[in-house]
A and B are shown apart, each in its own frame.
Chain A
Amino acid sequence: MSGVVNVWEKVPRKLTLAQWLYLPEIVRGLRVTIRHFLRNLVRIRDLPTILYPEQKRDYSDRFRGKHILKTREDGTLKCVACYMCQQACPAECITIVAGEHPKIAYEKYPLVFDIDMLRCVFCGFCVDACPKDAIWMTGDYEMAFSSRQEAIFGIDKLIEKPGLPVKDGYGYRPYYPGDGTVPPADASVSPVIPGDGERARLREAGLLPAFRPSAPQLPAKN
């Protein structure tokens, strides 16, 4: 805590004669602008502006760009059409139609997985919502369309092609304890229902926080 400062204390209310006469002030002002000009000329590489599209800005590996649907090793989608990303999406831009998996008897998979890129606000809620590590974002932000229909990306445009590089690299992806950028192990080959023993092990390893006993008691939903 501290007090209140009157901004006029540091600034003279009336200008001096020299300041009224423009000329000395012009010289003083030019000193600032010419200093900037010369510095930019000498250190042209440090300029904040860039020559897009020849040059591109370096974004972090958390950048929230175009989505990508992750695949298993055999090239099938990890997505199990659980609708959680569709539900979490604040812009309501995801459309999923689920079908029965042709090979695995108990699993669903998306027949349709559309993202309307014109509606999408790139908030990353779908990535946070996915329980199967199936949707990530990439660093790709160059999406131009010539029609609204074209802006609806289906599975063919969203799927990660195994073996092919991801345009502009991976962006925002599920958060892991640690540095938050470690690519996860393939969730599809991990045991799905480990039971309580597994939970205790995770807790010991520091991956699960201890449950807070003072959690607020919420009223029953009416």
Chain B
Amino acid sequence: MSVVEAPTLSPSAEKIRARLSASPLSEKVGVGDLDLPTLEVSPSDWPALARFLRDDPECHYDLFLDLAGVDNLKRAGRKTRFEAVVHLHSLPHNNHVRVKVLLPGDTAPALPSVHEIWPAAGWFEREAFDLFGFHFSGHPNLRRILCHDAFVGHPLRKDYAPGQRWFATEQDLKMPAWAGETGERAEHFETQTLSIGPSHPATHGIIHLVARLDGERITRAETQIGYLHRCFEKMAETHTWNGVIPYADRLNYVSAMINGVGYVKTVEKMLGIEIPERGVLIRTILSEFSRIMDHCVNIGTNLVDIGALTNFWYLYQPRENIYGLIEACCGARLTVSYVRVGGLAIDVPEDFVPRCRELLESIPKFIDDVDRLVTNNRIVRNRFQGIGVVTKEQAIAWGLTGPMLRASGVPYDVRRSYPYDFYDKFDWDVPVANDGDNFSRYLVRMEEMRQSLKIIRQALDIFPEKGPVNCDDWHVVLPPKDAVYHDMESLIYHFKLIMEGIRVPQGERYEWVEGANGELGFYAISEGGGGPYRLKVRPPCFPNLAAFEKIIVGGTISDAVATLGTLNVIAGELDR
């Protein structure tokens, strides 16, 4: 059993084992404990286990988070070449679990689809089919999702040579099978299939929406993505642990800082190192500013889509000022590359705290102005209220997280449910709404900006004036330059770190933070080398957009545009 069968399991793993022993699955599922409770199951028992995990009242893993394929070709001591690793969250019991489905066979791994148990699994299964060639039996739409249709092979398999190029022409790109059909109501003269995007101002990035219309009502829709796919996960495998950071910044480029923080948190947990308080607080402050920026961009562009241009200018001004602060810290505005494993690239400038306080003074004015113009505006209410409704049950089934989930009435925020850094020491509220419509999502984001300001204010109050920002372990962080120039030993540490990378102990870890649009997770596997063996991102907007084609059915095209804006889809993160 590759899962560590520790004699004493953690309480949550022990609970699952106790519940499992009473069910017919007890002999078929291995229960172990890594960083999370980890179950191992064969493909044939996977749907039964999935149903058990979702329906058992003591387990109740209702939120499907992530499905990551793993190719063990170059790992010793594994039972099978391929594994499908699923991460789940239980909203009532507030814990995560990992399930490994061990797939026999070296070339054509197959397992049953669980999209009926968790609808959120649909797109994640398509992704694993695309990148690993896993065949999910029973999946209704098992097509490539990130790579284009002329692509040959499965890029994340270890025997796939990176650097091959496949060119797609217009003829290679397939439309959904139903797009060519004459329609549900052929006698109706207005039935037609409409293609919106890929390059369209309302799609915020490059997303292709194919919609079947009856008059102006959408009767069926499908989203095609992958136009910005660059296979971040394959590139991570050929870089050192630190070398991934600039790539991670380009996932959600609107709030680049949060990606970096989430990624290095994973690596730091694997290394078992602690960051000094000052370093952690700088990360927190800049992350919260990034969240404000992200919401500014989201609300601003969303309002532009429905014709309220002025708010866009009011919201972009605080964003511009925050970029100024971030640039003063690290030297770049958008793609910051500021965090490093073990701390930060460089300490903040001396005027950091006064500049932050200045921003805290100025940002609320802009938020209030937008509030005054928009919140009780009749046009906005008509366009937002009651449009794009996602019920609580739907939101959970579709795997939504972040403001989308909270607007549907589920108060799940990673900063509150799994407090990391110092979030448990700050006094702040999780904004929720019960309606799940576009207007609730707008209100939740507005309130989140105010709560972020509250967090920053408290973080500045306990911000130590002087002190280190990096941990002092030279196996991880670069020694100070002065020492490198003058001291042989430091130069050796420096040389080893740059040429070989940080040596992260063998193991695997899933760490998650609250990104601006939901739970941003990183699942990393290390084989003891200088770089990741496998790195999987759980992009929060991936399930959000997967739900889009279900939300908009029954509404009009103009409602679909307004709804798409509230999902906060960032193509860099969606397509990776």
Interface residues of A (CB under 8 A from B): 1-8, 11-12, 15, 19-20, 22, 25, 28-29, 32-33, 36, 48, 59-60, 62-64, 84, 87-88, 90-91, 121-125, 128-129, 131-133, 137, 171-172, 174-177, 179-180, 184, 187, 190-196, 198-199, 202, 207-212, 215-216, 218-219, 221-222
In the bound complex, CA of A186 to CA of B330 (Å): 24
Which A residues lie within 8 Å of B312 (CB)? none
**B28 contacts chain A at the CB level, 8 A cutoff:** no
Q: Assess whether B432 is in contact with A216, with CB atoms less than 8 Å apart.
A: no
Cβ contact of A12, chosen from B376, B430, B498, cutoff 8 A: B376
Q: Assess whether B491 is in contact with A131, with CB atoms less than 8 Å apart.
A: yes
**B297 contacts chain A at the CB level, 8 A cutoff:** no
Look across to chain A and name the residue whose beta carbon is closest to the beta carbon of B427: A2
Cβ contact of A175, chosen from B345, B372, B505, cutoff 8 A: B345
Q: Assess whether B487 is in contact with A210, with CB atoms less than 8 Å apart.
A: no
Q: Assess whether B481 is in contact with A133, with CB atoms less than 8 Å apart.
A: yes
Cβ contact of B471, chosen from A2, A174, A210, A212, cutoff 8 A: A212
Ranked nearest first, the 6 interchain pairs of A and B with the lowest CB-CB distance are A209-B472, A5-B429, A62-B331, A64-B331, A7-B443, A123-B337
Cβ contact of B485, chosen from A6, A33, A121, A187, cutoff 8 A: A187
Which B residues lie within 8 Å of A62 (CB)? 327-331, 346, 349
In the bound complex, CA of A124 to CA of B339 (Å): 12
Q: Which listed segment binds A: B9-17, B91-99, B241-249?
A: B241-249
Which B residues lie within 8 Å of A219 (CB)? 503, 505-506, 528
Interface residues of B in 383-426 (CB under 8 A from A): 411, 416, 419, 424-426
In the bound complex, CA of A191 to CA of B488 (Å): 11
* Interface residues as binary, B453-494 with A (CB distance below 8 Å gives 1, 0 otherwise): 000000000000000100111110011111111111111001
In the bound complex, CA of A108 to CA of B67 (Å): 50
Which B residues lie within 8 Å of A221 (CB)? 500, 503, 528-529
Which A residues lie within 8 Å of B272 (CB)? 216
Q: Assess whether A208 is in contact with B479, with CB atoms less than 8 Å apart.
A: yes
Q: Assess whether A199 is in contact with B246, with CB atoms less than 8 Å apart.
A: no
Q: Assess whether B472 is in contact with A60, with CB atoms less than 8 Å apart.
A: no
Q: Assess whether A212 is in contact with B480, with CB atoms less than 8 Å apart.
A: no
Which A residues lie within 8 Å of B472 (CB)? 209-212
Q: Assess whether A32 is in contact with B320, with CB atoms less than 8 Å apart.
A: no
Q: Assess whether B327 is in contact with A60, with CB atoms less than 8 Å apart.
A: yes
Q: Assess whether B481 is in contact with A175, with CB atoms less than 8 Å apart.
A: yes
Known contacts A7-B433, A60-B327; A180/B346 CB under 8 A? yes
* Interface residues as binary, B310-335 with A (CB distance below 8 Å gives 1, 0 otherwise): 10001001001100000111111001
Cβ contact of B378, chosen from A15, A175, A196, cutoff 8 A: A15
**B150 contacts chain A at the CB level, 8 A cutoff:** no
Q: Assess whether A29 is in contact with B350, with CB atoms less than 8 Å apart.
A: no
* Interface residues as binary, B325-359 with A (CB distance below 8 Å gives 1, 0 otherwise): 00111111001010000000111011000000000
Look across to chain B and name the residue whose beta carbon is closest to the beta carbon of A196: B489
Look across to chain B and name the residue whose beta carbon is closest to the beta carbon of A195: B488
Chain A proximity of B567: nearest CB distance (Å): 18
Q: Assess whether B429 is in contact with A4, with CB atoms less than 8 Å apart.
A: yes
Q: Assess whether B331 is in contact with A131, with CB atoms less than 8 Å apart.
A: no
Q: Assess whether B505 is in contact with A216, with CB atoms less than 8 Å apart.
A: yes
Residue of B243, B486, B488, B499 with most partner-chain A CB within 10 A? B486
In the bound complex, CA of A2 to CA of B416 (Å): 9
Chain B proximity of A189: nearest CB distance (Å): 11
Chain A proximity of B456: nearest CB distance (Å): 15
Which B residues lie within 8 Å of A129 (CB)? 498
**B447 contacts chain A at the CB level, 8 A cutoff:** yes
Chain B proximity of A63: nearest CB distance (Å): 5
In the bound complex, CA of A198 to CA of B498 (Å): 23
**B444 contacts chain A at the CB level, 8 A cutoff:** yes
A-B contact pairs, 22 of them (CB 8 A): A8-B434, A12-B376, A20-B378, A29-B373, A29-B377, A84-B498, A121-B246, A124-B337, A125-B243, A131-B491, A131-B494, A172-B331, A184-B482, A190-B486, A202-B482, A202-B483, A207-B482, A208-B479, A208-B487, A216-B473, A216-B505, A221-B529
**B369 contacts chain A at the CB level, 8 A cutoff:** yes
Q: Assess whether A32 is in contact with B503, with CB atoms less than 8 Å apart.
A: no
Chain A proximity of B286: nearest CB distance (Å): 14
Which A residues lie within 8 Å of B240 (CB)? 88
**B151 contacts chain A at the CB level, 8 A cutoff:** no
Q: Assess whether B246 is in contact with A90, with CB atoms less than 8 Å apart.
A: yes
**B273 contacts chain A at the CB level, 8 A cutoff:** yes
Which A residues lie within 8 Å of B246 (CB)? 90-91, 121, 123, 125
**B203 contacts chain A at the CB level, 8 A cutoff:** no
Which A residues lie within 8 Å of B19 (CB)? none
**B239 contacts chain A at the CB level, 8 A cutoff:** yes
**B34 contacts chain A at the CB level, 8 A cutoff:** no
Q: Assess whether B369 is in contact with A32, with CB atoms less than 8 Å apart.
A: yes
Q: Assess whether A194 is in contact with B314, with CB atoms less than 8 Å apart.
A: no
Which B residues lie within 8 Å of A180 (CB)? 346-347, 349
Which B residues lie within 8 Å of A216 (CB)? 271-273, 473, 475, 505
Q: Assess whether A218 is in contact with B479, with CB atoms less than 8 Å apart.
A: no
Q: Assess whether B430 is in contact with A4, with CB atoms less than 8 Å apart.
A: yes
Q: Assess whether A1 is in contact with B424, with CB atoms less than 8 Å apart.
A: yes
Q: Assess whether A5 is in contact with B328, with CB atoms less than 8 Å apart.
A: no
